[in-house]
Structures are given as structure tokens and as C-alpha cells.
Structure 1
Amino acid sequence: MKKRSIRTGILFALLTPVLLICAENPIYAATTQTAGSATVSYHVDPAYQVTIPVDTSMRFNETETSYGNIVVEQAQIEDGKCIQVSLLSDLNLKNSNNSKAVIPYQILAQDEAGSRPFTSAQYTKAGEETPLTIAIKKEDWKKAAAGEYADTVTFTISYVDKSE
């Protein structure tokens, strides 16, 4: 046991000057201070949120009813790009009991110039919107067979190059 204490004491005696030298003269990695610049960068991915109309119904003999609005809720897009909303439908309400019975209709976009058939629109910023209506001609109501009618409308939202 005495040998161990002596060895520990000798080891401590040998390390003390090293510890004192390190404490007085801390070891630093070689560094050089020079003037310069650094680049800070960050990429924001495009992001957008678009609300489209949902299911709606129309009363018999009604020639026009609101279908709701396409609304751009959020838009973080690059220059030269836009959000495109397209509509796909054969624009025929189909009778659930008679496959030959259809009622043609239109989906119209409302703007300052009036109504126009809606097929697609491009948007570049939040807050833009397109009010839509569904229109059925009186003559087409008169030809309609009794029964339930429905159609599926598909909206496609894409991030595309802006067309001029």
C-alpha cells in the first residue's frame, strides 16, 4: 500500500508542473484573424393553399345558382410562376335511373366583365378569388325527365409557369 502512495505522489509531482504550465499558458489551436465575408442563405419552398367549391345543389327550374368561390388563401410563389386551377367535367347532370337522361349545364366565372365559362384560371397572390355560378337554361329544364341528377366536377391545382 505504501508503494502505491509513493507512486501516486511521484506521478502527481511530475504532473503538477505540466498542469501549471497548461493553466498559465492555455493551448490554442492556431488561428488567424482576417477580414472576410460569409454567405448566409435560405431557400423558401413554394407554398400555397387554395379553397375550391364543394358539393352544391340546384332547385328545379332555377337558371343560376352560386357554386362558391375559388380562393387563394396563401401564396408564396416564385417570380414567373403561378397557381393554376383547372376544371374538368363533361358538364352534364346525369339521371341516376336513366343513363340517357341528362341536363346540360355550365360553370361560369364571375368577374368585372361579366360571366364566362370557367375552364381554368391563374393566380399569383393570396386573396385572389373567382366566384363561380352554375347555370342551366330554361329549355333544358323543360326537357328533363323526372329523377335525381348529379355530376362530378374535378378541380386540379397546379404550380406552373405563368402565361402572359
Structure 2
Amino acid sequence: MKKGLTGLLLVSLMATLTVPVQAAEQTTLIHANVGSSYTLTIPKETTIDVNALTTPLNGTIKVTGNILSTENVVVSAVTQPLHNDDQNADLPYTLKNGNQAFTSVNFNQNDLKSTKEVQLQIAINQEDWNQAPAGSYNGSIVFNAELQ
């Protein structure tokens, strides 16, 4: 009987000493960041006919990609003169967007989605054509795009 009572006492003591087990829930945070990116497309090589007062560039400026609604892609251009190496002469011209001299154009998030295009043109005054020495003239336009 002593053994039975000891066993019963031991079982009841163990029941009161049980430690509750619980699973601790924890969370791992994950993050992703899709950075702004864009592609600038510029016009191809363009040949200007003699005495042409305006010549559209062979293609348009367009920007495609994915930017934030608070950002703009600003496209600007630096023109290099039409130069005649044989005669060491320049033929002045103006890069234009419509009737205005081109300085820059902004593309926002909606413009990138709608594939906005800007057609630029070369404008040369008739007086400059009249004074241009004979020969071949070559120049360039350097386009720059900046995310702002």
C-alpha cells in the first residue's frame, strides 16, 4: 500500500508541476525595391538637303521605362557645328522643337507609359546657306538624359 500511495502521490505531484508548452510566433520581414529605369531612343543619322530651311531629324526622341510618379526624365542636347574640314568653315544651325529652339524636354511617368515622342528639326537660315563654302559638312548632336 505504501508503494501505491507513493506512486499516486508522485503522479499527482507531476501533474501539478507540468510546464505549459507554447510556440512563440515570430515574423520575418521581407522587402523588395524596384528601382527606376529608362531607355532613351534618339534619331538616326540625318542628311540635310542643300538650301533646306528645316529638316526633321530621322526619328524622334522617346523615353520608355519605369519611373516613380515623383520623377521625370529630362532630355537635353548639345549641338556640335556642321563643319567643313576642307574649307575650315562652319554652317550654323539651330536644333528646334516646333518653332522654339530646343533646350530640353521632360518625360514623366505617364509619358513613359504612353510612349510620348518628340520630333526635332534642324533649321538653317538661307543667308547661311548662301555664304557656305562648297564642300561636305559634318556635325553631331549629343543627347543627355537625367533622372530628376
TM bin, normalised by shorter chain, reads: 0.7 to 0.9
- Counterpart AA for 1:107: L
- 1:128 pairs with one of 95, 106, 116: 116
Which residues of structure 2 form unaligned runs of 5+? 1-20
| TM-superposed deviation, 1:151 | 1.0
CA-to-partner distance for each residue in 1:2-26, whole Å, 9 max, x for gaps? xxxxxxxxxxxxxxxxxxxxxxxxx
Measure how far apart 1:79 and its partner are.
3.2
Root-mean-square deviation (CA, aligned residues, Å) is 2.0
Cα displacement (A) at 1:80: 2.3
Structure 1 stretches lacking a partner, 5+ long? 1-29
In the alignment, which residue of structure 1 is the partner of 2:86? 97
CA distance in structure 1 between the aligned counterparts of 2:124 and 2:87, rounded to whole angstroms: 19
SS in 1 for 2:128: helix
Written as runs of structure 1 = structure 2, the 5 A alignment for 1:51-62 is 51-62=41-52
* Separation of aligned partners in 2, 1:47 and 1:54: 23
Q: Which residue is equivalent to 1:3?
A: none
Count of equivalent residues: 123
TM-score of the pair, normalised by structure 1: 0.67
Q: CA separation in 2, counterparts of 1:145 and 1:136?
A: 15
**How many Å separate the matches in 2 of 1:122 and 1:38?**
41
Counterparts of 2:131 and 2:60, CA distance in 1: 30
Would you say 1:69 and 2:64 are equivalent positions?
no
Answer yes or no: is 1:150 the counterpart of 2:134.
no
The equivalent residue for 1:41 is 31
Alpha-carbon distance in 2 for matches of 1:31, 1:132: 71
What TM-score, normalized to structure 2?
A: 0.74
1:149 Cα deviation after fit: 0.5
Q: Percent of aligned positions with the same letter in both sequences? A: 28
